[in-house]
Structure 1
Amino acid sequence: MKPLALLILICFTTTTTVKAQNKKKQDAAAIKNMCGCFEVTFNFAETFNYSEDSLYKPSQTKVDKGLEWAQLVEDDKNKISIQHLLQVGPANNPYIVKHWRQDWLFENTEFYMFNGDNTWNFITKPKAEVKGQWTQKVYQVDDSPRYEGSGTWVHVDGKNYWENTTDAPLPRREYTKRSDYNVTTRGNRHEITRTGWVHDQDNSKVIREAGKADVILAKEKGYNTYVKVADSKCKAAADWWTENQDKWALVRNKWDAVYNRNTNLSLEEKVDNKPLYKFLFDDENYSTSEKINPVIESFVK
């Protein structure tokens, strides 16, 4: 290769690498903007139904409000982890509820994809398919899997957002009331705004049966707004996390060991007639790895 051609190639490669590094930093900054104290409004409404049952009743429109603390748990080169905590009740004596967790992994190639009936299929994707992308892995309140998907953060025209469509279990507001579908196909859009961020969803309620094509029962719109407020408003939740973070690190460590088996995962809904979160929320009896690890393992089929 001629010296001039080599110099041009080096300059091009260097410029491309710098741009990719700057883009990754911009992505990470957007993700970490989801941390802090927020006044949250959860909005869900069924929009269309395709049922052939004349007696079909759509889900009621649901609007809830709350105060949520989003705690940065991990901030590494290729991983950002955020734990959400609900703070409910009177300001002078609030009650803290461990809520969902979201992990963001850069150029991740390993996935647990929900397939209905409390089962997640382990799949891998080629590196080229996820180049420059971030995977959002969402976990239940007990740190068991919920859903995950990969996409590219977009920063254009003053907008900063990430989009993905993936299958998920029924949300808590539905699975205690509905048994006529078993998969939620979630169209997720996370957008950072001037006042906080928005979780915008276009979801399908899906009937999935082995050997048959999926049937869409209905569609749903979700629009959850997170308005940033002073961190001091969530002091009780932040303090709760400081006191309890060591225990939940043990829970995550056990789940990581399960996920690292890299095989399809099927979980029991209940053991001894109790869901997993009821065991793990019992701090008196489940606060050490000697107690936590066996109970989690008992839910793995």
Structure 2
Amino acid sequence: MKKILIALGMFCGIEPWLMAQPKEDRNAIKQMCGCYEVKFNFAETFAFPKDASTYKPSAQYHEKALEWVQIVEESPRKIVLQHILIVGDTGIVKHWRQDWIYENREFLQYNGFEDWQKIILPKSQVRGQWAQKVYQVDDSPRYEGTGSWIHKDGRHYWESTAYAPLPRREFTKRNDYNLLKRRNRHEITHYGWLHEQDNDKIIRDTKGNDYVLAQEKGIDTYTKVDDNRCALAQKWWKENQELWTKIRRKWDSELAQNQYIKLKKRVDDKPLFMHLFALKNTATQDEINRLIDTFFEVRKSQQQ
């Protein structure tokens, strides 16, 4: 039956890989593109400290921003979306990136100590699913999860669970936990899309034992506005996309060949994103490679 359907698809001018992937899935991912007014909202819901008398929960977090999201790479099994923040009237921040890969089996799992371990899932476990691989502002890894897009009862959403480093809103303020277990839901809505989170703040020791310190709720709403409002971000990306293509190329190479990586938080008292943001958009591939190399504390390839 499958061969008949593929042959029929080719006869009708439909690529076989499109038949294997529900069109609704790709449409849902692409609907996250555009210009958005974003509201970021987080609140700690429960806490389980061993010493309640000294525990200080995070204050509620509320921020607003204008954000541009666009496709920077697309192939039969992959869609890459880049987020760019507009700060004030003229400020631009290259923000997070999300890669969507169909039936992906290889994942980098965060372990809690600035280190990531590659794991490989069986084909049966990812059949029909899309992996979302999220990268930090410097294009280093952040978290990766897999799940099925659900299109039912007028809703279009995707869910997964993944381990991640502390969020940027907390990593300079908190050191009483070292791992965030993220339960993510992306849902396409009438106003744009919603990123909903139910997270555990975890203390993991060096033996791999976990203790849930607290839980939090996150609601990030992306409300679609006219693309012209993000013209500044679009212009910035056109001028800088070649630089970030080179940076992405370096990371892709490292993550493909290494089974385990551990990164330094700072070099010359500055995090990686500050070094990268200071580069001219004419920086060479060798210059970028050398810079990123300085942030690797440990690499373990398949051959080691």
TM-score normalised to structure 1 length = 0.92
Match of 2:39 in 1: 41
The one-letter amino acid of 1:191's match is E
- Identity, in percent, stands at 52
- Secondary structure of 2:142's partner? strand
Do the aligned partners of 1:279 and 1:286 also contact (CA within 8 Å) in 2?
A: no
Task: Please name the residue that 2:56 is paired with.
Answer: 57
Q: Which runs of 5+ in 2 are unaligned?
A: 10-14, 298-304
Aligned with 2:257: secondary structure? coil
Relative to its length, the structure with more strand (as a share) is: 2
Stretch moving more, 283-292 or 253-262: 283-292
The one-letter amino acid paired with 2:261 is L
Aligned to 1:168: 164
Decide which structure has the larger Cα Rg and report it.
1
Whole-Å separation in 2 of the counterparts to 1:286 and 1:217: 45
Write the distance in 1 (CA, Å) between the matches of 2:186 and 2:168. Answer: 20
* Partner in structure 2 of residue 70 of structure 1: 69
Residue pairs, 1:103-114, within 5 angstroms:
103-114=99-110
User: Secondary structure at 1:175's aligned position in 2?
Assistant: coil
Aligned amino acid, residue 42 of structure 2: F
Shift of residue 262 of structure 1? Answer: 3.5
Q: 2: CA distance between counterparts of 1:280 and 1:52?
A: 40
In structure 1, what is the equivalent of residue 80 of structure 2? 81
Structure 1 regions of 5+ residues with no counterpart?
Answer: 1-7
| Cα distance in 2 for residues equivalent to 1:130 and 1:172 | 29
How far 1:272 moved relative to its partner? 1.6
Report how many residues are paired.
291
Aligned pair 1:149/2:148, yes or no?
no
Give a deviation string over 1:54-111, Cα, whole Å, max 9, x none.
Answer: 2211100010001000021011110000010000112xxx111000000000011111
Q: Conserved in 2, the CA contact under 8 Å of 1:190 and 1:200?
A: yes
**2:214 and 2:229 mapped to 1: Cα distance?**
38
CA distance, structure 1, for counterparts of residue 2 and residue 95 of structure 2: 49
Q: Using a 3 Å threshold, how does the CA distance of structure 1 residues 49 and 250 change in structure 2: closer, same or farther? A: same
Aligned equivalent of 1:99: 95
CA RMSD of aligned residues (A): 2.1
CA gap of 1:191–1:263, structure 2 versus 1, over 3 A, is same
Match of 1:284 among 280, 286, 289: 280
Which residue identity is paired with 1:29?
N
Superposition map of 1:234-249 within 5 A:
234-249=230-245
The aligned counterpart of 1:3 is none
Q: What does residue 196 of structure 2 align with?
A: 200
The equivalent of 1:128 in structure 2 is 124
Instruction: Report the TM-score, using the length of structure 2 for normalisation.
Output: 0.91
